[in-house]
């Protein structure tokens, strides 16, 4: 599916505010409500819109600590990498997991209540996974910018 200018504008509007109704979107884009409904449906079925979520204030819901962990594995076979990805994906504390090129194998963004909760996560979940060799963690002191929208 090729995106036209209306699709791109629609995606940008939805990234900024996914609660906009089809009526509001139609007014902003000068299209009929039915046309907007069909475009949104097509963008969803085409995989451009993966899901619609609410972005929460982490402090208000009790998430006081964000950390980034570099994970080094003992082996790098297809099976080991896949097993690590499957297991780490089960942990609710892991917000993002990226396989990396470079000196470490994976980068994880981890959200926990506090340092003690991170410590328990590390000792009882992450560090005990098979094939984990080393975990190096960096703790966020302040957040200057946090975006969810892609600019294209």
Q: Strands 106-112 and 65-73, how do they pair? A: antiparallel
- Fold of the domain built from segment(s) 65-139: Alpha-Beta Plaits (3.30.70)
Q: Where are the domains of the chain?
A: 5-45, 65-139
- Choosing among 1.10.10, 1.10.3680, 2.10.25, 3.40.50, the CATH entry for 5-45 is 1.10.10
What does the pLDDT profile of the chain (152 residues) look like in tens digits?
Answer: 799 999 999 999 999 999 999 999 999 999 999 999 999 999 999 999 999 999 999 999 999 999 999 999 999 999 999 999 999 999 999 999 999 999 999 999 999 999 999 999 999 999 999 999 999 999 999 999 999 999 99
Task: Say how many CA atoms lie within 13 Å of 42 toward its Cβ.
Answer: 14
Q: pTM here?
A: 0.87
Please tell me the total number of residues recorded for the chain in this structure. Answer: 152
| CA separation for the pair 93, 125 (Å, rounded) | 10
Instruction: Calculate the dihedral angle through the C-alpha atoms of 151, 149, 22, 50, rounding to the nearest 10 degrees.
Output: 110
Kindly report, residue by residue over 113-124, the tens digit of the pLDDT: 999 999 999 999
């Amino acid at each position: 599916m090729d995106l036209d200018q209306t699709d791109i504008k629609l995606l940008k509007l939805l990234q900024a505010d996914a609660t906009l109704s089809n009526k509001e979107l139609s007014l902003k884009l000068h299209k009929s409500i039915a046309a907007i409904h069909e475009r949104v449906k097509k963008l969803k079925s085409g995989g451009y819109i993966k899901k619609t979520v609410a972005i929460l204030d982490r402090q208000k819901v009790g998430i006081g600590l964000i950390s980034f962990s570099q994970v080094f594995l003992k082996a790098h076979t297809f099976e080991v990498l896949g097993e690590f990805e499957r297991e780490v994906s089960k942990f609710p504390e892991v917000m993002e997991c990226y396989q990396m090129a470079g000196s470490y194998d994976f980068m994880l963004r981890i959200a926990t209540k506090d340092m003690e909760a991170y410590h328990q996560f590390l000792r009882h979940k992450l560090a005990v996974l098979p094939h984990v060799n080393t975990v190096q963690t960096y703790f966020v002191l302040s957040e200057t910018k946090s975006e969810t929208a892609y600019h294209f």
